[in-house]
Amino acid sequence: MKVMDGGGTTDARLDLREGEILERSEDSGKTEGGEGRREEVPAEASGQDVPGEIAGEDKELAGTGEREDERREDPAACLEELKKEHAELTQRWLRLLADFENYRRRSREELQRARGQALEEFILKILPVVDNLERAVAAAAGGSGDDATLRTGVEMVYRQFMEVLAEEGVTPIAAVGEIFDPEKHEAFCREESEKPENTILEEFQKGYLFGEKTIRPSLVKVAAAREAGCR
């Protein structure tokens, strides 16, 4: 803008001069306050290694190297350590072997017990058939002709049944003439007799053992010292 008045021109120049001085002063202040005053960033935040940590790691590595050197320099100590480790591993192996053997033994026992239980249940179902065969043999006793032939056939079947049962460990319980045993016999009635008291006089139904276990007691008549009747 051109100022025609001489005095006005001089005032305008002074104003421009003062504005330039002010702008330079502000730029100088920004430089001193911003770029000149940078905050220090800790070494940990900047990701740089701290001297103390580096020194600690160096010491740890140095200690590990020293121990390795000691083992190389002392074969006796190294051998002793290996013997100790071998003994520990041997004990662990023995314990595992013992546990495995116990497991196998328990498995065998459980299998045998399950098999015995299943077989016992089957034998109990078969025994009534055996009883009927015995009755058939007794009924055909003294017969002739066809009756004798039938009796022979029934006796053969009966013997086969008894052989199979014996193979599985099933045996008849002795009764007549034996002393009454509550573990093996069941008293059906008592009767006065010249026989000693509790002597078994008669067997009504045969009892059986499965191994040493009574799976069916004998149903018997027992001698009594005083008057007693069958129930």
Q: What is the Cα–Cα distance from 189 to 203, expressed in whole angstroms?
A: 11
206 within 8 A of 175, measured Cβ to Cβ = yes
Residue 57, class by beta-carbon neighbours within 10 Å (0-12 exposed, 13-18 middle, 19+ buried)?
exposed
**φ, ψ dihedrals at 3, nearest 5°:** -105, 125
Pick from 225, 161, 167, 160: which is nearest to 198 by CA?
A: 225
DSSP β-ladder status, 213-216 and 170-172: unpaired
13: pLDDT confidence band, cut at 50, 70 and 90? low
| pTM for the full predicted model | 0.52
Strand partners, 208: 172, 216
Q: Tokens at residue 63, please? A: 């200690």
220 within 8 A of 191, measured Cβ to Cβ = no
The pLDDT value recorded for residue 77 is 81
The pLDDT value recorded for residue 74 is 75
- Which CATH topology does 170-231 take? Nucleotide Exchange Factor Grpe; Chain A, domain 2 (2.30.22)
Mean pLDDT across 16-20: 58
Q: What is the Cα–Cα distance from 183 to 197, expressed in whole angstroms?
A: 17
For 149, 150, 202, 222, 231, the CA distances from 196, given in Å and listed in that order, are 41, 40, 14, 10, 21
Q: Which residue has the tokens 């009504």?
A: 204
**Domain locations along the chain:** 170-231
**176-219 pLDDT, tens digit each:** 989 999 999 999 988 888 888 889 999 999 999 998 899 999 99
**Which of 31-40, 59-68, 91-100 shows the lowest per-residue confidence on average (mean pLDDT)?**
31-40
The pLDDT value recorded for residue 183 is 92
Strand partners, 222: 190, 200
Which of 53-57, 76-80, 216-220 has maximum average pLDDT?
Answer: 216-220
- Decide if pLDDT at 95 tops 60: yes
Find all residues with CB under 8 Å of 173, minimum gap 6, and list them: 184, 185, 206, 207, 208, 209, 214, 217, 218
The pLDDT value recorded for residue 2 is 43
The pLDDT value recorded for residue 136 is 84
Classified as helix, coil or strand, 223 is strand
